[in-house]
Amino acid sequence: LVLCGGGVAAITWVLNRSAVNTIGKVNFDRALKIPPLAESAVDGQGRRVFELKAQAGESDLGHGATRTWGYNGSYLGPTLRAKRGEQLVVNIHNGLGEPTTVHWHGMHLPAQADGGPHRPIAAGGGMFQAAWKLDQPAATLWYHPHPSERTEAQVYRGLAGMFIVDDPATDSAQLPHEYGVDDVPVIVQDKVFDGSQLSMSDRFGSDIGVLGDELLVNGTPGPYLDVQTERVRLRLLNGSTARVYNFTLEGGRQFAMVGSDGGLLARPYMTDHLRLSVGERAEIVVELKPGEHLALRSERPLPDFDFGNRKFQGGEDSFDVLQLRAAPTLRKSPELPAALVDTPRLDPKQAAAKRDFTFSGRDINGDGMDMDRVDAVVVKNTTEVWNVENGHDTPHSFHIHDVQFQVLSIDGAAPPEPLGGWKDTLFLEPHRKFSVIARFADYADPTTAYMFHCHVLRHEDEGMMGQFVVVEKKGDKPRLQHG
Ligand code: C2O
Ligand code: CU
């Protein structure tokens, strides 16, 4: 362990990353579970209606009967899928013994439907109806609880699911798109078990929450996926509470990254690694040879950072995630298109406001979360530049509700290609400055706040979160109502 003046926080982080709490070896002896597609019905007003019930149950996660939570089942939830332009209604039922909410991560929607902590759904049968018009590019989004101070525990127990937005104009028919066959959700989560039960005990004194020593993909331990086609599209979601992954393929094989949080990239980006911090998604396409077994892995998610007078050692944790098993003969897949989606760049010269946020300790700009404090009043249909700085040694994960943003710069330099598309969550490396730009379109509501926060869920629960309110016109004041 070599550290030069990295400080106590960095030492804690390094110990956690490298020495003890890594993921153990797996046997790839269980078929990957595919979350079912959620059923829906179209009502008399032409709205697509989903029913989601948060409930307790038991799951086999490799340790017998484990008490877990899920939506419409015992662990995770169904994949919701809808088309751009559709009017959506989701009836959320709370069958748990504590309050919860459902937040639509990455979704552009009115604050009332966003599922922030202000409107808890009562324990033991409470109900909430979220309604909005789906209007954003094809993307891999997700949903999870967002109650005050209980988000980490509820997500860790199993409450999370994927939301696939379909939009022929911003998807590509040449990409694999048969759900569960060559277009597969890959929800990656790490866990600690105490006997047969999930444990959140902080055995390693982690600064960021649970770093598990076992891995689940879609709730499957040691998973393999049988593949029948030459190419398979994996919709990767880091659904962990704290861990960062750096996805690779066995033997350093290249793959194509085709999408980030909020939609497809301008063109496929060939790479041999892809880092996702908590809450981030990416779509990748992997090409397989007939009959081969190829492991998706995570290797050394954190590089060694060298900030001149301080060094940060990333650690060595590397482990298997999912084995892809190609059939002896594979069905043809279309060639990857050279170009995907043309996305206009937002122009910082048009920005109506510029704001600075520094992440430090458990605070943003020195403040913890306060449901009665509004940190930013944004005028509807304006563009803003947010400068976000990680002021200390702990990595964070920065998320804004309601919008997809574009990364303008990292420490003054243009972002790398994988960060060139729509993002709603961004890995905040220690001691770096990020500048992002977003347009706050369509929805104003002075009574209800949207959140922005660290997506390391323990940090979020401990108050590393702020609120913004979108108002109709300049000079309008927020009038928060909640309870
Ligand atoms: Cu995925 Cu405010 O959260
Ligand atoms: Cu954080």
Domains of the chain listed by start with CATH number: 7-27+174-331 (2.60.40.420), 32-167 (2.60.40.420), 348-471 (2.60.40.420)
Would you say the CB of residue 399 lies under 6 angstroms from ligand 1?
Answer: yes
Ligand 1, residue 425: give the atom nearest the CA: 1
- Residues lining ion ligand 2 (Cβ < 5 A) are 396, 454, 456, 459
Calculate mean pLDDT across residues 183-199: 96
Nearest residue CA, atom 3 of ligand 1?
105
**Given this model, what pLDDT does residue 328 score?**
98
Amino acid at 135: D
pLDDT tens, 276-320? 999 999 999 999 999 999 999 999 877 666 655 555 566 668 899
Would you say the CB of residue 396 lies under 6 angstroms from ligand 1?
Answer: no
Higher pLDDT, 302 or 181: 181
pLDDT tens, 388-414? 999 888 889 999 999 999 999 999 999
Cα 47 to chain centroid distance, Å, stands at 27
Q: What percent of the chain shows pLDDT beyond 90?
A: 85
The confidence band for 14, taking pLDDT boundaries of 50, 70 and 90, is very low
**Given this model, what pLDDT does residue 201 score?**
79
Distance of CA 464 from the midpoint of ligand 2 (Å): 7
Residues paired with 129 in a beta bridge: 91
Would you say the CB of residue 401 lies under 6 angstroms from ligand 1?
Answer: yes
Distance of CA 279 from the midpoint of ligand 1 (Å): 7
Q: How many Cβ atoms are within 10 Å of 327's Cβ, its own excluded?
A: 13
Query: CA-to-CA distance for 152 and 441, rounded, in angstroms?
Result: 30
Q: Please work out, in degrees rounded to the nearest 5, the angle formed at the alpha carbon of residue 247 by the alpha carbons of 241 and 253.
A: 170
Ligand 1, residue 452: give the atom nearest the CA: 2
pLDDT tens, 363-392? 999 999 999 999 999 999 999 999 999 988
Query: CA-to-CA distance for 163 and 136, rounded, in angstroms?
Result: 12
Would you say the CB of residue 105 lies under 6 angstroms from ligand 1?
Answer: yes
Query: CA-to-CA distance for 319 and 295, rounded, in angstroms?
Result: 10
Query: CA-to-CA distance for 72 and 80, rounded, in angstroms?
Result: 12
Which residues, including other chains, have CB under 8 Å from residue 349's CB and lie 6 or more apart?
A: none
Q: Is this model's pTM higher than 0.90 or not?
A: yes
The confidence band for 95, taking pLDDT boundaries of 50, 70 and 90, is very high
Q: What percent of the chain shows pLDDT beyond 70?
A: 92
Nearest residue CA, atom 1 of ligand 1?
105
Calculate mean pLDDT across residues 76-88: 98
Residue among 475, 404, 406, 408 nearest 444 (CA): 475
Question: Which two tokens mark 454?
Answer: 């660290």
**Given this model, what pLDDT does residue 6 score?**
36
Would you say the CB of residue 161 lies under 6 angstroms from ligand 1?
Answer: no
pLDDT tens, 442-460? 999 999 999 999 999 999 9
pLDDT tens, 424-442? 999 999 889 999 999 999 9
Would you say the CB of residue 103 lies under 6 angstroms from ligand 1?
Answer: yes
**Given this model, what pLDDT does residue 207 score?**
77
Would you say the CB of residue 453 lies under 6 angstroms from ligand 1?
Answer: yes
Calculate mean pLDDT across residues 195-223: 86
Q: Is 352 left (phi over 0), alpha (psi -120 to 50) or beta?
A: alpha
Query: CA-to-CA distance for 448 and 93, rounded, in angstroms?
Result: 21
Range name among 13-17, 99-103, 364-368 with the lowest pLDDT average: 13-17
Residue among 48, 16, 9 nearest 133 (CA): 48
Q: Please work out, in degrees rounded to the nearest 5, the angle formed at the alpha carbon of residue 293 by the alpha carbons of 265 and 233.
A: 20
**Given this model, what pLDDT does residue 205 score?**
57
Residue keyed to tokens 């913890």? 368
Higher pLDDT, 270 or 300: 270
State how far the alpha carbon of 478 is from the alpha carbons of 418, 423, 452, 473, in Å.
36, 27, 17, 11
DSSP state of 346: P
Would you say the CB of residue 459 lies under 6 angstroms from ligand 1?
Answer: no
Would you say the CB of residue 84 lies under 6 angstroms from ligand 1?
Answer: no
